[in-house]
Structure formats: C-alpha cells, structure tokens
Amino acid sequence: MQRVPWADLPLGLRNLIESQTGSVLEAESASEGRNSELAAFLTTSAGKVFIKGLRSDHLRVWTQQREAMVNPYVIDIAPRLLWHVEAEGWNVLGFEHVAGRHADYSPGSPDLLKVIDAMRRLGEIGCPDLPLKRSEQRWAGYVDGPSTLELLRGDTLLHTDYKPMNILVGDAARIVDWAWPTRGAGWIDPACFALRLMAAGHAPSEAEAWAARVPAWAAAPREAVDTFAIVSLRMWDEIATDDPQPWKAQMRAMVQEWVAYRDLQACPTPLGRFRLLDQRRADHGRDRADARAPEDEGQLPLQPRPQLLAGLGQCLLPSARRRARTNQFGERVPLWSRLAQAADDGGQRVLLGSEDRRRSQAVDQR
C-alpha cells in the first residue's frame, strides 16, 4: 500500500489533527508496514505522536474502528489512543509515541521473554463486552463443521497477528496494530506466536516450548491445537496461492512443518475431508478476508528449511492437477461447500485452493 506523506494530506485534515496535537514541527513517514495509507511520527509543539489512517472509502477502513474500540482495554500492553478523527475523506487514529524497536524473534533473543510476558498479561485481561469477531466465526471457512468450530471457542481477548513488526520492545514489550481483535480460546495467541518463531528460525519443538510458557497453552486440548494447525495450513495455502510472495510461501512452509511435527496426516481434518458449513453466512466473503492477517510483511527474514516434508509437500498441488468440478454424470459438484473431496492423485489428498473455493461459492449462492 502506497504511503501518503503528511504534506500531501488535505489542509482541512491537517488542521484538524493539529487541533489535537499542537503545531506539527516535523513529520516522518513510517518506513515499515504497508497496511495503512497514512503512518507517520509527528513531532509537535506538545511532544511526539504516532498517527495511522486510511481513506474513508478504503475496503478495510473498519479496522480503524476496531482498533479504537479495543484500545481502552489494552493500554497496559499497548500504546494509548489519544484521539480519533474523520474528515476530508480520511479516518485517522492518533497514539502516544512509544520508544522502542521491533522485536527480534531469533533463537536466543532476550526479546522473547518480554513478548511472553505481554502475552500473559493480555490473557489476564477480561475480554470486553464489545462486538468482536469470534474465533469460530473468523476461521469458519477453514473447518469441517460446528463440532470442529467449538474447539476454537473461548472468551479470551486475542490479538492473533504476532509478526515482529507488531511488537515494540523497550523495557517491556508493547503489542501494536489491534486491527484484528478476536474473542476465542486463550491458546490461539501462543499458537500464532509459535508460527512466527518458526519463521524466525526456531524448530517446531522450540517454538512450542516458548508457547508453553503461556498458561493457556498448557491447558489446551491436543485436538484443539491440532485443529488450529490444520486451519492455519488451509488459510496460509490460500494466501500463498492467491499472492505468492516469498514471505507468504515461507509462512505456508512453516505451517506444513508444524503439521508434520504434530504427527498429523497430510491434509488431515477431524472428519477426514474438507467441508464448509452448509448454512452460509451472507458476509462469508468478509469473514474469509477477516480471518487473514494484514499483508505487509516484506521485511520478514526468510529462514530456509531444506528438509521440508516429502508427504505434506505433495498435499499442495497446482490448480492444473485439481479434480474437475463435475462428477461422472456431468453434474456440477459444489466441492468446497459440500464434498471438497480428496482427489485420488497417486494416493495423495489435494488441498483445494482459493480458486476452487471461489468458484464453488459462486455456484452455491445462485
């Protein structure tokens, strides 16, 4: 997402922001992160602030409201929201400036204990009575049915996007970018963190050992974590298939490795095949986008894993090898919503990609 510098904002918007901050003496656009059209550090007559914003007609402008809504409940572990304005076609949040650097997740990093501490403190915060997305809604498009969704249910406030850029480290760790707050099982955040640790060079056993320092992980049923591993595999396969940037392909590889480490079968599901709930929600498309983390991680350091997964690697096949979407009688089969059946391709199951899902969804909705 192309960054808009402070000087290029409408004059009326700049004046409104300065009414909140004092006169702006210097403005420096943030060099990292690409989920906000506006992201800048302002040095003002009253001190420094950080601002982030999107145009009011942006497809994800609702993430601004979510972040503003949840901020009062997380100020012990996140920068405080000072103000929220909308004018001149822009929606802008203003935060206190917090000195720090992005977290280092590499093995042996002293930052890891600070991140774990922040995650523990987040787990102790009661989930506020807000209209948050529930985990069983957010990941519904990647599970088999209601019984599977129940494994993700919980009443913990979750962040879910633990890329290093979202952690500021100083004397303590602060969790930033609350665009995707979720109500769900408390072990989901440590699971998301474990995947990021693997991307930074940790073995799966090491990543899970760090996750186990969060009490909610220790109490998690194995079946529930296994289910989330499969959910993550399907989600990251879709993301990497839609837009095969290196960091997305890397995250898919990390989930593949995690699934193999947990001794799950290639492309497993609790019911043995892929299904989507027959009762579709009208906002299914938004839920699918909602499940996925923001896509701005060009800075993620790639950690090659040459040992990856003979069996599991065969699970993710290009669309040319996917089964045709008609049966032997010439009837159209809505695969993802009904059968999403495993293709008999040399004995390997085929994980249907996002193109198949979109097409089958279009059939179902007619």
Report residue 48: phi and psi, to 5°: -100, 145
Q: Where residue 264 falls among pLDDT bands split at 50, 70, 90?
A: confident
Query: Is 345 strand, coil or helix?
Result: strand
Task: Give the burial string for 126-139 (b: 16+ CB within 10 Å, else e).
Answer: ebeeeebbbbbbbb
Res 144: pLDDT: 79
Please return the burial class of 321, using the count of CB atoms within 10 Å of its CB with bins 0-12, 13-18 and 19+: exposed
- The count of other CB atoms within 10 Å of the CB of residue 208 is 20
Residue 257: CB partners within 8 Å, gap ≥ 6? 198, 204, 305, 308, 309
Query: Is 3 strand, coil or helix?
Result: coil
Residue 208 has pLDDT above 60, yes or no: yes
DSSP readout, 273-308? S----SS--TTHHHHHHHHSPPS--TTPPP---TT-
**pLDDT tens-place string over residues 221-254:** 999 999 999 999 999 999 999 999 999 999 999 9
Give the tokens for residue 99.
Answer: 């000195």
Of 156, 25, 178, 16, residue with least CA distance to 91: 16
- Half-sphere exposure for 281 (CA within 13 Å, toward CB): 12
Sign of CA dihedral 218, 223, 224, 227: positive
Query: Is 328 strand, coil or helix?
Result: coil
Under a CB-based contact definition with an 8 Å cutoff, are residues 166 and 177 in contact? yes
pTM of this structure? 0.76
Residue 301 has pLDDT above 70, yes or no: no
Strand partners, 27: 42
321 versus 64: which is more confidently predicted?
64
Residue 97: CB partners within 8 Å, gap ≥ 6? 41, 47, 48, 49, 50, 79
Report the mean per-residue pLDDT for the chain.
79
**pLDDT tens-place string over residues 159-207:** 999 999 999 999 999 999 999 999 999 999 999 999 999 999 999 999 9
Q: Domains along the chain?
A: 6-96 (3.30.200.20), 103-291 (3.90.1200)
If you average pLDDT over residues 253-270, what whole number do you get?
77
Sign of CA dihedral 280, 285, 290, 292: positive
Residue 80: CB partners within 8 Å, gap ≥ 6? 71, 95, 96
Residue 287 has pLDDT above 60, yes or no: no
**pLDDT tens-place string over residues 75-98:** 999 999 999 999 999 999 999 999
Could you tell me what percent of the chain has a pLDDT over 90?
A: 67
